[in-house]
Structures are given as C-alpha cells and as structure tokens.
Amino acid sequence: MQKYFSTKRFGPISTGHRQWRDDGHCAWAHGYGRIVEIIFGGSELDDRGWVVDFGDLRDVKAWLESEWDHRILLAADDPLLDTFQMLHDMGGCNINVLPAPYGPGIELSCQYVFDKVNDILKEKTGDRCWVQQVRIWEHENNSAIYGSFPTQWYKYPLNKYGIRS
C-alpha cells in the first residue's frame, strides 16, 4: 500500500562532540552547525490533507535544542568524563552524556532523534504517523542516516526527464 511522506528540517544547531575512540583529530572536542532532516510517514492524511502539522513541531525543535545547542556530546564511557564534568561544573562547557546504545556522533545521534521523535509523533497522532528516517548533516559534505527510505525509489535510475520510473 502507498503511504504519504513529508520532511522537516531543523537547525543549524551549534553542537560539539568528541569521539574518544578515534586515534585522530576527532578525539578532540570540536563542533558543527548540525542540520537535521526528519522524514515523516503517514498511513493516511489528516482532515487538512497533511501528514504532520509543521507548525505543531515546536516540541521537537525545543527538544533538539535542549539536547544539542551549545553543548558537548560525550559517550557515557568517555575516559575523560570526570574532567569534562569538572569543566561543566565550573561553567566552562555544557556537557550532554549519551547513554548506550546512543552516542555523540551523527550516526547514533540520528538513532537517538529517531527513537525520541517517533514516540512523540505516535503519541500525538494516535499511531497515524511515524518517523521514517532521520538525517543529520555536520556540514555540507558529511551526513548520516538512520531509518529506511520511504520507497524503493533509490533502486531506479533517473530517466531523461529526471524522474525515477
């Protein structure tokens, strides 16, 4: 059965993180203006003809900002956690420790957003809508995706009109 989809972007949100297991420069605290795109799916449209009400996603935006904005995301098993916690307590940074299975990088951040927003949406729409996919860009060249593509469109090449058939 065919379903309906819509997308919404949030950001850029200034977000720091560190990947302590990396032997390169990603072990250092660094950051990006994260942009997140969520693809929503709906089994049917509401009475206005919408999948989700874009104006009714302020709670999602507020949650994303409370999690990421001007914060440093850290893994729960980061060996420097106590030191970052000390800096946090001294007002030098605002850390956000991600519990397993989530983590500070964009792949696991996608999964974190997916799980949270899917719950919000299902509750809000009585299971009519769900999150199909979450994509996070850390800059224009790098992004990660969690979830599934809404249809099998990616299997089909573009035809001469630029349409997937």
Give me the residues that bind Zn ion (CB under 5 A), please: 26
- Minimum distance from residue 142 beta carbon to Zn ion (Å): 9
Query: Which residue number, 26 or 93, has a Cβ lying nearer to Zn ion?
Result: 26
- Minimum distance from residue 92 beta carbon to Zn ion (Å): 21
Helix (H, G, I), strand (E, B) or coil at 61: helix
Are 46 and 128 in contact by the 8 Å Cβ rule? The answer is yes
- Minimum distance from residue 22 beta carbon to Zn ion (Å): 7
- Minimum distance from residue 105 beta carbon to Zn ion (Å): 8
Query: Which residue number, 20 or 50, has a Cβ lying nearer to Zn ion?
Result: 20
Query: Which residue number, 26 or 81, has a Cβ lying nearer to Zn ion?
Result: 26
Strand (E) or helix (H) holding 47: none
Query: Which residue number, 7 or 96, has a Cβ lying nearer to Zn ion?
Result: 96
CA 141 to CA 161: how far, in whole Å?
Answer: 27
Q: Distance between alpha carbon 54 and the CA centroid of its chain, in Å?
A: 17
Strand (E) or helix (H) holding 41: strand 30-42
Are 47 and 15 in contact by the 8 Å Cβ rule? The answer is no
